[in-house]
Amino acid sequence: MIFQVMTTLYREMSPEQLEIAYSPSSAIGGDYAPFVQRYVDESAWARESLRCLCDVRYGDENEQVFDLFYANGSSTKKRPLHLFIHGGYWQELSQKESATMAKPLVERGVTFVAVNYTLAPDADIEQMVDECHRCLVYLVQNSNELGIDPDNISISGHSAGAQLLMHMLAQYQDEPLMQGVGLVVLISGIYDLTPICHTSINEPLFLDQDRARRLSPQFAESTFSQSVLIAIAEKDTGEFRRQAKEYHEKLIEAGTPSRLVDCGGLNHFNIILEMEKGAFPIIQSIVEFSIVEFSNGSD
């Protein structure tokens, strides 16, 4: 008699199960290309229709650029800033597909920036974190020229962008410029990278278990002064949903103000496409934070 032994790598999952659990497209039938096309189309529309600066260089490398979309209004006050860090599993997309949140934010008085960073395998995750930080430093140091308020900053990250955001905050939280960041929004994020080591996603990342753990927000000892909104899609995979809930619980236990929002009817890809409604929790939270701070500020 031949016994077949199933190898389990993480949470009693086989390699095949793990691959599916960490493939967001598996929850929508496998084809995410139509959503990426909407990213392309809506971002192109934003660049053509909104007042913006494109391909502003924040560093010397080719990929170290951002696109900035000016807030509407003619106030003499410097405007609130929202910085968006795109996802793509550290190996896809750019700022050119990342302006889907620009219109609803600039219409409500918030300047929007989509940052680009070097992707794997040309950069490791540590370098990506450093590049996002460099962009934030540039924005703060040039806030007068750009018309933004360095004391009224919110930042969001989608998917892998959520990991980059929280690792950046943990690594640089003692810097004075971080005092201006009051709200972070994590959208369908990944917070434990250790299972990624056992999937095809890791091929251009070259993560081992030790590095994956060091880069995982779930295992960081940091506490944060910022308020955190964790948004998860109803149709995200079970593992993405579990990670979001466990990271929310970790933040609460550490004393970080955290709110978990379950976005009904949405999936991993269209959660950043449903921003037009002002009541949508992501936009609502950013605007409420930004405009309250803006109204309380001084000329």
Q: Which of 67, 130, 149, 236 is catalytic?
A: 236
Whether the ω angle into residue 176 lies within 30 degrees of 0, i.e. cis, is: no
Q: Which of 98, 268, 285, 290 is catalytic?
A: 268
**Sign of the torsion angle spanned by Cα atoms 268, 273, 277, 282:** positive
Q: Which of 94, 154, 156, 159 is catalytic?
A: 159
Asked if residue 112 lies in contact with residue 67, where contact means CB atoms within 8 angstroms, the answer is no
Q: What is the DSSP string of 84-111?
A: EE--STTTS--GGG--TTHHHHHTTT-E
Q: What type of residue sits at position 116? A: N
Q: Is 67 a catalytic residue?
A: no
Q: Is 208 a catalytic residue?
A: no
Asked if residue 95 lies in contact with residue 116, where contact means CB atoms within 8 angstroms, the answer is yes
The alpha-carbon radius of gyration of the chain (Å, integer) is 19
- Stretch (H or E) spanning 162: helix 160-172
Alpha carbons 84 and 224: distance in angstroms, whole number: 19
Q: What is the DSSP string of 163-193?
A: HHHHHHHHHHTTSGGGGGEEEEEEES-----
Q: Is 25 a catalytic residue?
A: no
- Stretch (H or E) spanning 258: strand 258-263
Q: Annotated catalytic sites, by residue?
A: 159, 236, 268
